[in-house]
Amino acid sequence: MDDFARSLAKVLISEGGFTNNPNDPGGATNRGITQRVYNEFRTAKGFPTQSVKLISDSEVSDVYRSRYWDMANCGKLHSGVSYVLFDGSVNSGVSQAVKWLQRALKQLGLYQGAIDGLCGQGTILAAGGVNDDDGLISIIMERRLAFLKALKTWKYFGKGWSARCAAVLKTGQVWASGSVGPDPAFAFVDGGQAKAFISDAKPAPVIAIADGTTGSGFAGGAVTGYIASAKDQLSQFAGSSTFIDHALMWMTVGSIALVGAGAAYRWYAKRVQNRRADVLDLPTIAQAAGSQTTKAVAA
């Protein structure tokens, strides 16, 4: 079989049959093809839409080749790498899968272009220059698994996705190595067929929470602001009462503790946000700030 045929055979095992899990963002799906994609395919062909349950074998092959294999330019990549990109495209969309490939190539120092999710000439040439496709595939799958773990839907489908990624990694590396032995064992694992989209990413920590206590000193946020106000009112009575002196002392300690906690949380939130940005292929905090500064200067 050619690369498309044998890759499709593996994908179809991973995808299984009809499913309509309420936690799966793909909705009604049959053999890995969602109802939305099937409707678009039928409409483009000038055919009336129908339930994805009725999709034919020839339509399945046509959708996979045109919508995923060709769109991701899988046919221009080495064996094994093409399958890994194809499977990722089916599960998370072509753009996301290509970003994993581009990130891996950049990590290997072979790609200097934008992480834009487009498998163009620059990406194809960089992939063609890899002399260790096993290593490339390993990096791609590491990024893919990290992406999946960053989704809210991981709690429902993590076991299935993990099994699928392990099988894809092993098969891709065997094909990339040009093995003449039998393919690794490959079986359907429920949950692995669920679609994994960036729209289901877990929310990032909110740095504004920390800014409330660190942004403008003690009076920066609502709580510290109230403490500062109370201190101002009580300070005129300092020395007149042991209770008031103790209250002022604990208010000062409380303000310092809040500011310290806010600074610690801000550090943690920025670290998590930057890690999340890397995993999800989003701009980091620094990049986003730079972009905003550039826009402001241009305006």
Q: Are residues 42 and 130 in the same domain?
A: yes
Q: What is the pLDDT of residue 255?
A: 60
Mark which of 145, 178, 197 sits at the end of a domain: 197
Could you give the CA distance from residue 237 to residue 225 in angstroms, rounded to a whole number? 20
Spatial CB neighbours of 39, under 8 Å, sequence gap ≥ 6: 49
Are the C-beta atoms of 23 and 29 separated by less than 8 Å?
no
Name the strand (E) or helix (H) holding 216. Answer: strand 215-218
Least confident range from 83-92, 99-108, 167-176, 217-226: namely: 217-226
Least confident range from 103-117, 139-153, 237-251: namely: 237-251
> Does residue 81 lie within any of the structural domains?
yes
In this prediction, residue 272 has a pLDDT band, given cuts at 50, 70 and 90, of low
Q: Are residues 154 and 249 in the same domain?
A: no
Q: Are residues 123 and 170 in the same domain?
A: yes
Are the C-beta atoms of 263 and 222 separated by less than 8 Å?
no
> Does residue 202 lie within any of the structural domains?
no
Are the C-beta atoms of 279 and 96 separated by less than 8 Å?
no
Q: What are phi and psi of 80, to 5 degrees?
A: 90, -55
Give how far the C-alpha of residue 107 lies from the chain's centroid of Cα atoms, to the nearest Å. 17
> Does residue 203 lie within any of the structural domains?
no
> Does residue 213 lie within any of the structural domains?
yes
Q: Are residues 173 and 40 in the same domain?
A: yes
Q: Are residues 119 and 231 in the same domain?
A: no
Mark which of 131, 164, 197 sits at the end of a domain: 197
CA nearest 59: which of 8, 10, 21?
A: 8
What average pLDDT does this structure show over 13-24? 98
In this prediction, residue 180 has a pLDDT band, given cuts at 50, 70 and 90, of confident
Give how far the C-alpha of residue 53 lies from the chain's centroid of Cα atoms, to the nearest Å. 29
Q: Are residues 225 and 143 in the same domain?
A: no
Q: Are residues 183 and 267 in the same domain?
A: no
Residues in a beta bridge with 151: 201
Could you give the CA distance from residue 138 to residue 140 in angstroms, rounded to a whole number? 5
Q: Are residues 107 and 166 in the same domain?
A: yes
Give how far the C-alpha of residue 170 lies from the chain's centroid of Cα atoms, to the nearest Å. 22
Could you give the CA distance from residue 215 to residue 187 in angstroms, rounded to a whole number? 54
Q: Are residues 149 and 245 in the same domain?
A: no
Q: What is the pLDDT of residue 179?
A: 75
- Domain region containing 232: 208-298
The number of distinct structural domains making up the chain is 2
| The token pair that represents 48 in the structure block | 């009336």
Q: Are residues 43 and 7 in the same domain?
A: yes
Question: pLDDT of 217-250, one tens digit each?
Answer: 444 455 555 556 655 665 656 566 677 676 657 7
Name the H helices within 236-284.
242-279
Looking up residue 123, the CATH number of its domain turns out to be 1.20.141.10
Q: What are phi and psi of 63, to 5 degrees?
A: -60, -45
